[in-house]
Chain A
Amino acid sequence: MNTTDAINRNASKGTDDVRGKTIFFFGIVGMLFLGWIIFPFFIYAPVAQPVQFSHSTHAGDNVGLKCVDCHSYDKDGRFLGIPGTSKCAGCHSHTIGVSDEEKKFVDEYILRHKEIRWVVYSSQPENVYFSHATHVKVGKLDCETCHFGHEFTDKLRPARFSRISGYSIDVSGSTLLDIPSTPSTGMRMDDCAGCHNKRGHKESCIDCHK
């Protein structure tokens, strides 16, 4: 009897050990799932663009526009950014395609002479300046160097802003855990400095901080 009890106790203990380890392991795995899979959706709030624009349609073979046809430079060299709706109206004074987005765009903006309040993906703090003109004209960078693949997109992805700091994921970088801090895919100071250093523009604080 005593022997049987001992065996049962040992078996029960063995089972408890396995179960305890499983629970412990489950805690780790559950938290890893929460942290790496769920948390990124929680920390960043998506904000959709007011109009869905297809770069692939405009830059593709059918239309064949180049980047600078719309994102042009002023006479004094300034980058004009996203064109105003008056420029779009050159072709879209009325609906010329079949998509719902174009119809919405023409009805709500072109016909009403209204500008689109695009959500900015890359707003920097107020003490930081970024000049497209400098990078393209002086630095001789192609648009694709930074915006690679942009011309093949059919939709504008939503901007994702941190619920805490308010910075866009395009600024802070999509890498969630960046220890030690290394240049990644964002627009943080390390990212700018990394590219500048690689291209021989070291110690260039006032290039960005004005």
Chain B
Amino acid sequence: MANGISRRDWMKLVGGSAIGFMLTPIPWKILDESAKWTQSPSFPYGRQREIQIHSNERISFSHTTCTLCPMACGVRVRCASERGRGSLEAVGITGTKGHPISDGSLCALGVAAIFLRYHPSRLHRPVKIIGHGKFVPVSLDEAISDIARAISRSSCESVAVLDNQPDRAISHIYRKFVGELKNGFYINPPTCDGVPTRLTDQTLHTGDLAFGYDVNDARMIVSFGTPILDGWGTQRQFASISEARRCGGDKKLKLIQVETAHSRTAQIADEWIPVRPGTESAFALGMANVMVRERLCNIDRLRMYSADFDNAAGDSFMKLIEKYPPAYVSEKTGIPADKLVEVTREVARRKPAIVMFGGNPGSGPFRLDEQLAFMGLNILLGSIGTKGGLKPRGKLPSPYYGLHGSDDSNHLASMKQLSDIPDGSIGVLIMDGADSGCAIPWETVERKLSPAGHTIVSLAPYLAGNAVHADYILPSPAYLETADDVPTPSSATVASYSVVSPIFSAPKFSVRPNGFINSLAEALNIRRSSRSDFSGMEYILKKRVEKLHSMAKGNVFNAETGRSERLSGLSLPQFLERLKKGGCWIDDGPAELPPIRYSFLGGTHLPRNNVPVQGEGNNGPRELVLLPLGTRGVLTAAQSNPIMSKLYQESGLRMSANTVSVNPSTGRAAGLKDGGKARVRTENGTAYVMVRFDKSVMPGIIQASVVPLTKSPDRAEPKIEDSVIDICKIDSDSTWRITNAMIEPA
């Protein structure tokens, strides 16, 4: 054996080769290349190279409309498919060029929205929540049976649907369903984008005619806390406002931001008026005082068209604003009286001027009495219905109008605000899965629930946001998987309408909201004649499109050609086809303003002797004012994507969750360190935060960032601490702008 090759020799050769093998790139390179291969859209049927090179027929584009917030931006989804199999994967999203609403622009949320389909908190089947973050799978039939039983039991309590994006076709289905119930409520959460219809109805008596802000034609914008340059409206509107601010001559736009917080809009506005917290409306009434005193408005006309502007008997606007002379307002707001007068004169001179007052998505809308003050300023400026002011927009037809040859829309439940619902009255709450874009502190909802017992159903695709409070989550299809429609954005002055066709298939066990409502109606034996109306989203959408087509006005944007056509020149199938393929109908212009009479006090004769000036009741040097701030659309973990995590968690470009900014003097007085940890206490609880010193923050203010928590939205992780939004004080009218708080080192 000495000269031959023994088995032992072979073993040594193999052993040596094995060790040598591990020192070569062979295993590692093959592993690396195989991993890349598996990431190919064509895996396991083809090779990546075939996708990369000369692969035009494998790449397709689909146009649709973004549903992540109510702004209705046009999106173009780039899809990779594997030849002959039809399965699609989204590989990129861009804006649709020439789209009448967004014109090719998209926000950071929309750009990376393809990842929302793969959100770590996404649920793929109905679940029953059995504890904080813990759940068990449940069949849809079982869930519906339980929910129907809960509805049948709640004879004293009401059944409510909370719809975050009203006026969609599904919204009408909800309203129809709730309208069939004895104690049904259809609720919309507060919005920060547009002018509340309730406010315009109270001050202008225009019923349900909705108004938008004509920012494109304005030369002066006075914004009370609205983040106009930081997430308000579409990116196109942002570009348009920025362009108008840059241009010279008569068309130059000036932006004055009246806000306590040194927000991003305040930073880049032409002028920032840093009023004390909660005194924005006092500043508005001070401006009104100056306008009337210096006759910068048409007082005779106002007297003629308003019963409560100036009258001898009862409350009047004149009497109210008399109590807000510049010196008094200066004392309350901290803004010099001269500055108030100077700003007012400039606003009155630089017309068209518009007063915007949506508020910040993180801190929610203003109270109704505050909104009346801002609206009064708009009336004084003559901005109602005029170019560059508040303009009314046309109304979209209801899909139920004339569905059975008669006006079935009469059976729809009326639209309510959260503040309209009596506390402790809701026995069963169904929460739609769409996102309003604004924060909704859970306490605003929770206080409406019956303390005797309640059932909460969420139709969100994710176990995130307020869905974590639900008893059942019936996950609806995620973004790009659902059939839906997008009505006019609430800030727009011209009506628009888009249809959303699903581009990708939804998971097998996801629950379509209309299907759920149909099954629930069946389980509840709601009259059979109307039951069919709850099903078939395609049918409902088609009926709505039919009604729109019969109006024969406006233009239709064709996303594939990038051109617009007159609706009157299109047949119904053509119109439907355009809309299904990412098109958009847009009205010819704003609606006609009916003859109006102004009610400055909202027809309710509110006790307006003194507009409350909050933040003054501090008991000691350590009690401060907590101001939550956020950006629309990214206030819950449900809408976080990789770009959001870069912006908020990794880059420091935006303040991450539970981070507060305080003035260095305030921080030092409270014993805090820059970059240190602290406890923020309010009457609602305690939040643990990271402190950042910022000289631009007003002393006495805790400016808090409302964004998803940095920790992973791990479904198995119990909630162990409150976020800033959880500890805000909720007022009786469901607002939470100002909260007294204490801060101390943790």
Interface residues of A (CB under 8 A from B): 12, 15-16, 19-21, 23-32, 34-36, 39-40, 43, 117, 119-120, 123-127, 129, 161-162, 164-167, 172, 176-177, 179, 202-203, 205-206, 209-210
User: Are the C-beta atoms of A164 and B30 separated by less than 8 Å?
Assistant: yes
Q: With A28-B17, A31-B24, A167-B49 in contact, is A205–B36 under 8 Å at CB?
A: no
Complex alpha-carbon distance, A206 and B114, angstroms:
13
Contacts of A165 in B (CB 8 A): 33-34, 36-37, 40, 47-49
Q: With A28-B17, A36-B24 in contact, is A23–B29 under 8 Å at CB?
A: no
Contacts of A179 in B (CB 8 A): 28
Complex alpha-carbon distance, A209 and B78, angstroms:
12
Complex alpha-carbon distance, A203 and B648, angstroms:
11
User: Are the C-beta atoms of B25 and A35 separated by less than 8 Å?
Assistant: yes
User: Are the C-beta atoms of A203 and B12 separated by less than 8 Å?
Assistant: no
A23, A119, A176, A209: which contacts B16 (Cβ < 8 A)? A23
User: Are the C-beta atoms of B47 and A127 separated by less than 8 Å?
Assistant: no
B:13-33 near A, CB below 8 Å? 13-21, 23-26, 28-30, 32-33
Complex alpha-carbon distance, A30 and B23, angstroms:
11
User: Are the C-beta atoms of B24 and A32 separated by less than 8 Å?
Assistant: yes
User: Are the C-beta atoms of A27 and B48 separated by less than 8 Å?
Assistant: no
Contacts of B683 in A (CB 8 A): none
Q: With A28-B20, A176-B25 in contact, is A125–B91 under 8 Å at CB?
A: yes
User: Are the C-beta atoms of B111 and A206 separated by less than 8 Å?
Assistant: yes
User: Are the C-beta atoms of A35 and B651 separated by less than 8 Å?
Assistant: no
Contacts of A203 in B (CB 8 A): 646-647, 650-651, 653
User: Are the C-beta atoms of B47 and A43 separated by less than 8 Å?
Assistant: no
Knowing that A125-B91, A167-B33 are A-B contacts, what are 5 other residue pairs whose CB atoms are under 8 Å apart, sorted by A's residue number? A31-B20, A35-B26, A126-B59, A167-B48, A210-B92
A15, A31, A124, A161: which contacts B17 (Cβ < 8 A)? A31
**Within the complex, what minimum Cβ distance (angstroms) separates B353 from chain A?**
36
Contacts of A177 in B (CB 8 A): 25, 28-29
Task: Please list the 10 inter-chain residue pairs (A to B) with the smallest Cβ-Cβ separation, ordered nearest first.
Answer: A35-B24, A27-B16, A166-B49, A31-B20, A166-B48, A176-B25, A123-B52, A165-B36, A28-B20, A164-B33
Contacts of B78 in A (CB 8 A): 126-127, 210
**Within the complex, what minimum Cβ distance (angstroms) separates B52 from chain A?**
4
User: Are the C-beta atoms of A35 and B33 separated by less than 8 Å?
Assistant: no
Interface residues of B (CB under 8 A from A): 2, 8-9, 12-21, 23-26, 28-30, 32-34, 36-37, 39-41, 47-54, 59, 78, 80, 91-94, 108, 111-112, 642-643, 646-647, 650-651, 653
Complex alpha-carbon distance, A178 and B13, angstroms:
27
User: Are the C-beta atoms of B20 and A32 separated by less than 8 Å?
Assistant: yes
Complex alpha-carbon distance, A124 and B14, angstroms:
39
B23, B29, B94: which contacts A43 (Cβ < 8 A)? B29
**Within the complex, what minimum Cβ distance (angstroms) separates A35 from chain B?**
2
Complex alpha-carbon distance, A209 and B90, angstroms:
12
Complex alpha-carbon distance, A40 and B18, angstroms:
19
Complex alpha-carbon distance, A166 and B54, angstroms:
13
Q: Which residue of A lies closest to B37 (CB)?
A: A165
Contacts of B651 in A (CB 8 A): 202-203
User: Are the C-beta atoms of A19 and B28 separated by less than 8 Å?
Assistant: no
Complex alpha-carbon distance, A124 and B53, angstroms:
9
Contacts of A39 in B (CB 8 A): 24-26, 29
Complex alpha-carbon distance, A30 and B26, angstroms:
13
**Within the complex, what minimum Cβ distance (angstroms) separates A147 from chain B?**
20
Most chain A beta-carbon contacts within 10 A, residue among B47, B52, B94, B653: B52
Contacts of B34 in A (CB 8 A): 164-165
Q: Which residue of A lies closest to B13 (CB)?
A: A27
Q: With A27-B14, A27-B15 in contact, is A127–B92 under 8 Å at CB?
A: yes
Q: With A125-B91, A164-B30 in contact, is A32–B15 under 8 Å at CB?
A: no
B17, B41, B643: which contacts A30 (Cβ < 8 A)? B17
Q: Which residue of A lies closest to B24 (CB)?
A: A35
**Within the complex, what minimum Cβ distance (angstroms) separates B40 from chain A?**
7
User: Are the C-beta atoms of B17 and A176 separated by less than 8 Å?
Assistant: no
Complex alpha-carbon distance, A129 and B20, angstroms:
39
User: Are the C-beta atoms of B2 and A16 separated by less than 8 Å?
Assistant: yes
User: Are the C-beta atoms of A26 and B24 separated by less than 8 Å?
Assistant: no
Q: Which residue of A lies closest to B48 (CB)?
A: A166
Contacts of B25 in A (CB 8 A): 35-36, 39-40, 176-177
User: Are the C-beta atoms of B23 and A35 separated by less than 8 Å?
Assistant: yes
A26, A35, A176: which contacts B21 (Cβ < 8 A)? A35
B20, B36, B80, B650: which contacts A27 (Cβ < 8 A)? B20
**Within the complex, what minimum Cβ distance (angstroms) separates A94 from chain B?**
30
Complex alpha-carbon distance, A16 and B11, angstroms:
14
Contacts of A205 in B (CB 8 A): 112, 642-643, 646
Q: Can you identify 5 A-B contacts, CB atoms within 8 angstroms?
A: A27-B19, A31-B23, A32-B23, A125-B39, A126-B41
Contacts of A32 in B (CB 8 A): 20, 23-24
Contacts of A129 in B (CB 8 A): 92
Contacts of A164 in B (CB 8 A): 30, 33-34, 36-37, 47
User: Are the C-beta atoms of B12 and A24 separated by less than 8 Å?
Assistant: yes
**Within the complex, what minimum Cβ distance (angstroms) separates A174 from chain B?**
11
Q: Which residue of B lies closest to A203 (CB)?
A: B651
Q: With A165-B47, A206-B108, A210-B111 in contact, is A20–B8 under 8 Å at CB?
A: yes
Contacts of A40 in B (CB 8 A): 25
User: Are the C-beta atoms of A123 and B12 separated by less than 8 Å?
Assistant: no
Complex alpha-carbon distance, A31 and B51, angstroms:
34
Q: Which residue of B lies closest to A127 (CB)?
A: B91
Most chain A beta-carbon contacts within 10 A, residue among B17, B28, B34, B651: B17
Contacts of B80 in A (CB 8 A): 126
Complex alpha-carbon distance, A34 and B23, angstroms:
11
Q: Which residue of A lies closest to B20 (CB)?
A: A31
Q: Which residue of A lies closest to B23 (CB)?
A: A32
User: Are the C-beta atoms of A206 and B49 separated by less than 8 Å?
Assistant: no
Contacts of B41 in A (CB 8 A): 126
Contacts of A34 in B (CB 8 A): 24, 26
Q: Which residue of A lies closest to B5 (CB)?
A: A23
Complex alpha-carbon distance, A34 and B273, angstroms:
73
B13, B24, B91: which contacts A24 (Cβ < 8 A)? B13
Q: Which residue of A lies closest to B78 (CB)?
A: A126
A19, A29, A124: which contacts B9 (Cβ < 8 A)? A19
Contacts of B29 in A (CB 8 A): 39, 43, 176-177
Q: Which residue of A lies closest to B90 (CB)?
A: A127
User: Are the C-beta atoms of B9 and A20 separated by less than 8 Å?
Assistant: yes
Complex alpha-carbon distance, A16 and B32, angstroms:
40
**Within the complex, what minimum Cβ distance (angstroms) separates B677 from chain A?**
25
User: Are the C-beta atoms of A126 and B33 separated by less than 8 Å?
Assistant: no
Complex alpha-carbon distance, A12 and B159, angstroms:
95
User: Are the C-beta atoms of A166 and B50 separated by less than 8 Å?
Assistant: yes
Contacts of B14 in A (CB 8 A): 27
Contacts of A31 in B (CB 8 A): 16-21, 23-24
Q: With A120-B53, A164-B33 in contact, is A24–B40 under 8 Å at CB?
A: no
Contacts of A117 in B (CB 8 A): 54
User: Are the C-beta atoms of A24 and B59 separated by less than 8 Å?
Assistant: no
Complex alpha-carbon distance, A40 and B33, angstroms:
13
Complex alpha-carbon distance, A126 and B78, angstroms:
9
**Within the complex, what minimum Cβ distance (angstroms) separates B480 from chain A?**
15
User: Are the C-beta atoms of A126 and B92 separated by less than 8 Å?
Assistant: yes
Contacts of B92 in A (CB 8 A): 126-127, 129, 209-210
Contacts of A123 in B (CB 8 A): 49, 52-53
Complex alpha-carbon distance, A27 and B15, angstroms:
7
Contacts of B20 in A (CB 8 A): 27-32, 35
Complex alpha-carbon distance, A76 and B39, angstroms:
34
User: Are the C-beta atoms of A23 and B13 separated by less than 8 Å?
Assistant: yes
Contacts of A24 in B (CB 8 A): 12-13, 15-16
User: Are the C-beta atoms of B33 and A25 separated by less than 8 Å?
Assistant: no
User: Are the C-beta atoms of B48 and A15 separated by less than 8 Å?
Assistant: no
Contacts of A27 in B (CB 8 A): 12-20
B8, B36, B54, B111: which contacts A167 (Cβ < 8 A)? B36
Complex alpha-carbon distance, A12 and B26, angstroms:
37
User: Are the C-beta atoms of B28 and A126 separated by less than 8 Å?
Assistant: no
Q: Which residue of B lies closest to A159 (CB)?
A: B53
